[in-house]
Amino acid sequence: MLRLDLSRSFCIHYKTLIRRSIFFTAILTSTAQAALLDVFSAELALARGMTDKGVVLYRAQAIQSKDPLILERALTVALENNDINGGLAITKHWVEVDPNYIPALFYMAHLSLKAHDYQLAAQTLDQILRYDPDAALDRIIVGISPDDQRDRTALLAALQSLKEYNNPSLSVLKAGLLVQAGKPDEALREVNNALRKKPGVTAFITLKANILIGQNKAAEVQQLLTQEIKRQPKNKSLQMFEVRFLLNNKQPQLAMSRLKQMTRRWHNDGEILLLAGLVSIDNQRMQDAERYLVQLLTIDQYVDQAYFYLGIAAERQNHIVVAISYFQKVQGDELYRKAQKKLAIIMVANNQLDEALNNLTQERVEHPEQTSFLYLLQAQLLKDNHQSKTARKLLDEAINSLPNQPELIYARILLLHPDERALLDSESEQLLALSPDNPIYLNAYAFALAQQNRRLSEARALAERANKLAPSQAAILDTLGYIALLQKDNAYAIATLRAAYTSEPSLNIGFHLVTALATNHKYDNERYQLISELKAHFPNNLQIIAQFDDAGQITPQTTSNPLLKSTPSITETTTVVH
């Protein structure tokens, strides 16, 4: 969002000063009472949280005013509330009132770009560039990257009409559009033009490097970065870009060498120390990693990351006690859950299941804000260790304590017995009432109904809705195909299950596709080939032996528990669609 910092030349008024000046100005005008009342009403609406009303009132006042303070305040309110069209209307009026006021032109150029009015944008930019052909337009074009191909084409055509000005900011914007249009050579010419006018600009250099990377010209990228870093030895951003390029180009040793040099120049830079620590871990240089990460502990904002990756380093060296102590020190929200999962995995791997469960119970006391997650993690550990009944009891306790947590309800649904239809329906309906647009929950309920071969029309509607929310997810396509198969919509079932299996060639999806192909003998060859593929990919799977006879026919038994088809771990259900 563009605010009042478009250009330093016109970022001079503080909000409080503006408001006071507006009231003072209103009192001095011939329409003082009406203006004062409108401004007061707008500010009162904003203060009371009636944002839409405040925006509308200020816009109405602005387009009747010539006062720059009122216009600026109205525009600020519009921009703060992402009212692009309203902001553009205000700037158009402002430019009509004062055609030579450059800040208003800056606003209008940016907002016309945001509103996809590229003809107006070109006209406005032309006015600005007449005053100063080398004007810094970077804040006008920031965030301008149309998603639609037609918009990109229209914007590029509009910018080409300004070619005579040879402005570096516009050259860079054109370069980005040309890359998206599949014209990297033309894009490079535009970037080179920008660099001739403004050499040494980091954003221009990295854009050129990225274009060359896209052309697989690694040697040219390295040459470019080496030259520019030699010219700008204190440019940290450029050197970090080079390190990441080297890592992506599978040159970790050279990247580490660069990082060592950087740590000598920037002794206590958290970003550099963290990356140096991570690269050292990947290079199996654990002592170096520990040295960098311990140094990182002195920087408050990096403490949790330091402890977490010190834990990773200790774990990789099989220093289990040390790893546990580091993971236990991670407290910040960003890494806390990852650290607790690591702790649980390490403890269980070392035959300390009871200790892991007790630790999570204690964590619930010390971190009540993480209670739901910690219950889920405990339940997952119990389930993974063949203690589903205990996991179910734990989730019953969790839901009694936190009755409206969708993740907990879903986790319990995953543990329901196939015969618990009434509870499945009530729990699923509650779940969808709490999270009506969650594709995971929609798909799970749809598949459960399908496995029980009931309410198939409703099940299909649920799966179709899930597919709209999360298109082309293998698990959702599998559910759709399976339901269609039960409804004897065989052509749709085959097409959908093929797409699901192509995306994720899992055992359960393969079973469903084999069953669908068996409905039409013209697909016999494909079916036999798929059966052979499943046997090859899962040679020791008893389910395959049980379900396929010697003739390649699938037996009538079903796959597993209604909601456990391709079930993810309980603690991942908010991000994985299965």
pLDDT at 9 over 80: no
- Token code pair at residue 207: 């854009």
- 423-465 tens-digit pLDDT: 889 999 999 999 999 999 999 999 989 988 899 999 999 999 9
Contact status, residue 497 vs residue 516, Cβ threshold 8 Å? yes
- 18-51 tens-digit pLDDT: 444 444 454 444 455 566 677 778 778 778 888 8
What is the pLDDT averaged over residues 50-77?
Answer: 81
pLDDT at 240: 97
**If pLDDT is split at 50, 70 and 90, which confidence band does 142 have?**
confident
Q: Rounded to whole angstroms, how far apart are CA atoms 466 and 457?
A: 14
Give me the percent of the chain exceeding a pLDDT of 90: 53
- 12-27 tens-digit pLDDT: 333 443 444 444 454 4
Q: Rounded to whole angstroms, how far apart are CA atoms 435 and 415?
A: 19
pLDDT at 576: 32
**Which of helix, strand or coil describes residue 363?**
helix
Boundaries of every domain in the chain: 1-115, 437-572
User: Would you give the DSSP letter of residue 521?
Assistant: G
Contact status, residue 547 vs residue 555, Cβ threshold 8 Å? yes
Matching residue, tokens 């009303």: 53
pLDDT at 543 over 60: yes
What is the pLDDT averaged over residues 210-218?
Answer: 95
pLDDT at 63: 80
Can you give the three-state secondary structure of 433-468, one letter per residue? HHCCCCHHHHHHHHHHHHHCCCCHHHHHHHHHHHHH
CATH level 2 (architecture), domain 437-572: Alpha Horseshoe (1.25)
Give me the percent of the chain exceeding a pLDDT of 70: 87
Residue 572 vs residues 345, 442, 567: alpha-carbon distances, Å: 15, 16, 10
pLDDT at 130 over 50: yes
Sequence-ordered alpha helix ranges (H) in 249-285: 252-265, 270-282
pTM: 0.72
What is the pLDDT averaged over residues 540-551?
Answer: 61
Per-residue burial over 110-139, b = 16 or more CB atoms within 10 Å of its CB, e = otherwise: bbbbbebbbebbbbbbeebbeeeeebebeb
pLDDT at 385 over 90: yes
pLDDT at 140: 77
Instruction: Compute how many other C-beta atoms are within 10 angstroms of the C-beta atom of residue 90.
Output: 30
- 351-382 tens-digit pLDDT: 999 999 999 999 999 999 999 999 999 999 99
- 221-251 tens-digit pLDDT: 999 999 999 999 999 999 999 999 999 999 9
